[in-house]
Amino acid sequence: MSALDTLADRMFPDVTHTPEEYEALYPARQLKEGARVTRIAPSPTGYLHLGVLYAATINYLTAKSTGGVFYFRLEDTDSKREVDGGAEDILAGLSHYGLTPDEGYGGPGKETGNYGPHRQSDRAEIYHTYVKDLVRKGLAYPCFCTAEQLNAVREEQESRKERTGYYGAAAVCRRLSPEEALQKIEAGLHYVVRLRSPGDESRRVKFDDMVKGTIEMPENDQDLVLLKTDGIPTYHFAHAIDDHLMRTTHVIRGDEWISSVPIHLQLFQVLGFKPPKYAHISPIMKEENGNKRKLSKRKDPEAAVRYFTEEGYPIQSVMEYLLTIASSGFEDWRKCNPAADRFSFPFNLKKMSVSGALFDLDKLNDVSKNVVSAMDADAVTRYILEWAAQYNQEFHAKLAADPVFAQGIFSIDRGGSKPRKDIGKWSDAPDYAAYFYQRPDPTGLEYPESLHAADIKEILSSYPPVYDPSQDRQQWFDAIKALCPALGFCPEVKEYKKNPDGYKGHAGDVSTVLRIAVTGRRNTPDLCSIMRLLGKEEILARLQAAASVL
Ligand code: GLU
């Protein structure tokens, strides 16, 4: 037995498996040519962020559009930053948005697929097996430097204006013989395990990033930590082991990791693994006072995905919008394929924005108004009821008291070739529907300034006798037109325009007065339908109330 074997056995007495066994246990996947295996690998450090949903969407699309696999890995190696229920919140959020992974960690005790476990805290034995093998081969070594010693080294490097870190002369433990290392372990000293980096700072490493293009950086020469004192792997090491054994073909992740790629490529090389393809996506940006900045978890409520749920943005809207910002070709594709499954969009990583997608709530609202305008009344009513049950109980109680009436409200002007676009999110609904539940205050009504109070009063009092709820839209407007001559208004707008001084106004002004008296608003969906839904008695009461204060 060599001294390195003895050292490796002493460091990992419990490891009974070999890398070869794991290679055989997790063989190359049998997928069709070109199929991509992607993953989302969040840390359970809090609620689901928009950035994670965005990255998951891109990973999901990449896998789905190639007949591949999208899986979920939980990177819970940093227990200090872990939040209770964080993983469940992320998983529930992804499923809510239709991004259910094909495989992976699915919550406590839940695992799917043949490449798990997918929770890093369940993979200690795998990591240790590989590190033991590296130690045996002299490619990794125990490092006994204390935090104080490392600090002192760093300060010295700084004072000499040198690059800081554990490399070259500073990497003292790399020069210990296996026997010396063994002695320190026997003496009970704590240690981390470091990579014996084969890199050289003066050499360059070049790789093709699928989003950012060809990138060149100096090689890594730092003896980075693979396992911490408690035996838990660092992100870098776990990434190499996991993405290899889970047979990931494309690592698509935030571009904060781009500077780590030289380390990762080196790890793949030392471990004898084929590296995956990398795609580093730019963060979601926000424009503020003409400047672009990263969406901030601290400053921007929309950075948390729950914001969209609370505001009542339909799932479809958020997803459509994320695809719009992920790929400049999506909007045009959507115009040509209005009913197609969004995940059939031929997504191309290479066409993603390199500088960062701009997130704009106004644009999301527009996208969402389109989405909502295409829904039928049944769906809209159901979604609004669901949203209100959770976020606006008072409104929910009103709707639930008469579901048929509620559905009537959301049926108005729905369907047809030019649907109105009043509602972008369910939280718009209470205001949208307010006048159906509450009479407008007659003293606060704002009529067109061109009309005199006496004329308005006359309109309000002469209309009730001609109102008949059985009228269709045409008959309803014809009845208004028929009233016009006696009121001094012109029945036809065209005629009126030829001779505006000859009239007090036109039929449209008369209906505006009625609209304001009934709803308190100047702009509403179809007034004939509103009146029919509110019922004759209520309409007459509102008209009378409005007339009585003039
Ligand atoms: N746990 C890492 C993160 O949340 C994952 C990065 C990756 O996708 O590799 O940033």
Tens digit of each residue's pLDDT (9 = 90 or more) over 170-199: 999 999 999 999 999 999 999 999 999 999
Do 417 and 455 lie in a common domain? no
CB distance 253 to ligand 1 below 6 Å: yes
Rounded Cα gap, residues 105 and 119, in angstroms: 6
Atom of ligand 1 nearest to the CA of 55: 8
Which of 179, 163, 159 is closest to 171 using CA atoms? 163
Which residues, 6 or more positions from 277, have their beta carbon under 8 angstroms from its beta carbon? 208, 210, 249, 250, 251
Tell me which of 281, 310, 336 is where a domain ends.
Answer: 281
Within a domain: residue 295? no
Within a domain: residue 322? no
Cis peptide before 117 (omega within 30 of 0): yes
Do 412 and 448 lie in a common domain? no
251 CA → ligand 1 middle, Å: 10
CB distance 41 to ligand 1 below 6 Å: yes
Within a domain: residue 490? yes
Task: Report the CATH number that the domain containing residue 138 is assigned in CATH.
Answer: 3.40.50.620
- Is the CB of residue 38 less than 8 Å from the CB of residue 248? yes
Rounded Cα gap, residues 5 and 400, in angstroms: 73
Which of 281, 261, 181, 174 is closest to 219 using CA atoms? 261
- Is the CB of residue 530 less than 8 Å from the CB of residue 524? yes
List the residue whose alpha carbon is closest to atom 8 of ligand 1: 253
Rounded Cα gap, residues 316 and 320, in angstroms: 6
- Is the CB of residue 223 less than 8 Å from the CB of residue 195? yes
151 CA → ligand 1 middle, Å: 28
Within a domain: residue 250? yes
Within a domain: residue 408? yes
Do 405 and 263 lie in a common domain? no
Please choose from 39, 43, 237, 265 the residue to mutate so as to test ligand 1's pocket, defined by most ligand atoms within 8 A of CB: 43
Task: Give me the active site residues, please.
Answer: 297
529 CA → ligand 1 middle, Å: 53
CB distance 43 to ligand 1 below 6 Å: yes
Q: Which helix (H) or strand (E) holds 510?
A: helix 507-519
Atom of ligand 1 nearest to the CA of 75: 1
Rounded Cα gap, residues 369 and 301, in angstroms: 21
**Looking at residue 281, what is its pLDDT?**
96
Tell me which of 232, 248, 281 is where a domain ends.
Answer: 281
Rounded Cα gap, residues 144 and 11, in angstroms: 13
DSSP 347: -
Tell me which of 437, 458, 485 is where a domain ends.
Answer: 437
Do 457 and 531 lie in a common domain? yes
Do 516 and 423 lie in a common domain? no
**Looking at residue 80, what is its pLDDT?**
80
Beta strands in 95-224 (DSSP E): 103-107, 110-112, 140-143, 192-195, 204-209, 213-218
CB distance 239 to ligand 1 below 6 Å: yes
238 CA → ligand 1 middle, Å: 11
How many domains in the chain? 3
Do 486 and 469 lie in a common domain? yes
CB distance 58 to ligand 1 below 6 Å: no
Mean pLDDT by 10 residues, the chain (550 residues): 96 97 98 97 90 96 95 91 84 95 95 97 97 98 97 97 96 98 98 98 96 97 97 97 98 97 98 98 92 91 95 97 93 93 91 88 95 95 98 98 97 88 97 98 96 96 95 96 97 95 96 98 97 97 96
Do 277 and 425 lie in a common domain? no
pLDDT tens digit sequence for 246-302: 999 999 999 999 999 999 999 999 999 999 999 999 999 999 888 999 999 889 999
Please choose from 253, 259, 265, 268 the residue to mutate so as to test ligand 1's pocket, defined by most ligand atoms within 8 A of CB: 253
**Looking at residue 458, what is its pLDDT?**
97
Please choose from 39, 48, 70, 75 the residue to mutate so as to test ligand 1's pocket, defined by most ligand atoms within 8 A of CB: 75
Within a domain: residue 473? yes
229 CA → ligand 1 middle, Å: 22
Which residues, 6 or more positions from 295, have their beta carbon under 8 angstroms from its beta carbon? 50, 51, 283, 284, 285, 286, 302, 303, 359
41 CA → ligand 1 middle, Å: 5
Do 450 and 417 lie in a common domain? no
DSSP 230: T
Do 153 and 213 lie in a common domain? yes
Which residues, 6 or more positions from 311, have their beta carbon under 8 angstroms from its beta carbon? 425, 426, 427
Do 241 and 131 lie in a common domain? yes
Judged by DSSP in three states, 206 sits in: strand
**Looking at residue 355, what is its pLDDT?**
83
pTM for the whole thing? 0.91
Judged by DSSP in three states, 391 sits in: helix
Task: Report the CATH number that the domain containing residue 500 is assigned in CATH.
Answer: 1.10.10.350
Within a domain: residue 139? yes
**Looking at residue 83, what is its pLDDT?**
79
Which residues span the domain enclosing 420? 377-437
Residue 229, Cα to own-chain centre: how many angstroms? Answer: 36
